[in-house]
Amino acid sequence: MTPIRESERRSRILRGRPYSLDEFASKYGLRSDQAESLYTRFGPSSIELDLLMAAKRRQPAPRDRIAE
């Protein structure tokens, strides 16, 4: 298996809308260092990151309900 080079990583086609690092960390309740590591390795693609987190069996963190 060959390692993925940085230039190959940048040339990937973005699938789905991109997450910001803060949005990704917040959605899955990750510490900033965890989120940054995954974001750096897998890119900002919301589809790719959501699939990754599903494979890790991590559900999105519950959001606070807004009083109606």
Please report, to the nearest 10 degrees, the dihedral formed by the alpha carbons of residues 29, 30, 36, 39 taken in order.
Answer: -60
The reported pLDDT for the residue numbered 68 is 41
d(C-alpha 48, C-alpha 52), whole Å = 6
The phi and psi torsions of 52 (rounded to 5 degrees) equal -60, -45
Query: Which pLDDT band, with edges at 50, 70 and 90, does 30 fall under?
Result: very high
Strand partners, 45: 18
Arithmetic mean of pLDDT, 3-17: 65
Give the residue extent of every domain in the chain. Answer: 16-55
Q: Where are the alpha helices (DSSP H) in 1-68?
A: 6-10, 21-28, 32-42, 46-55
At residue 34, the 3 state secondary structure works out as: helix
